[in-house]
A = this chain, B = another copy of it.
Amino acid sequence: MADATLEIRPGEVTVDAPPAEGPALTFIGHCQTPWKTTRECPRRGDLEGPLCQVVVDDVWARALQGIEENGYLQILYWMHRARRDLVLQNPKHKGAIIGTFAIRSPNRPNPIASSVVKLEKVEGNVLHVRGLDCLDGTPVVDIKPDKCPHA
């Protein structure tokens, strides 16, 4: 799934990573967003941003029971266009070389993003939310009530 042909910037370092031999994920749904290219995606989600949808596959729909009690949700999703072998990165907004685990770049050994979203409405197996920052069609890995310890 990872696209290791993505361009590397000056100062960036990759490793000869071992093959991914952990458990396989099962995608439970997908995101509907206004963004069709990575260039259009906001760098970070905005809780007052555009209304987006998390569409849950039918087999998991019953797992949404009671979710409407939550004002905020945590969504985990898979950034399928990312590289998985970068250890040092040169992000434009930093202006310095920095380790992959010290930034929230999509490029990481397991390209799983975590976003907190505001839940506006539940319609059947569709969650209407604000705060996503991902491409339209991005596969979803998990949905949880938000329990940020700072909230």
Instruction: State the A residues within 8 Å of B (CB).
Output: 1-2, 13, 15-28, 44-45, 47, 56, 59-60, 62-67, 69-70, 72, 74, 76, 78, 80, 84, 86-88, 96-104, 108-110, 112, 114, 116, 131, 139, 141-145, 147-151
Contact = CB atoms under 8 A, between A and B. Distances in A.
A22 B25 contact: yes
* Pairs A-B, 3 closest by C-beta atoms: A65-B99, A22-B25, A148-B148
B24 A21 contact: yes
B25 A67 contact: no
Contacts of A25: 20, 22-25, 110
Given A63-B100, A74-B114, 15 more contacts: A22-B25, A23-B25, A23-B78, A26-B109, A44-B147, A60-B100, A66-B98, A67-B99, A69-B102, A72-B150, A103-B145, A104-B144, A112-B112, A112-B141, A150-B150
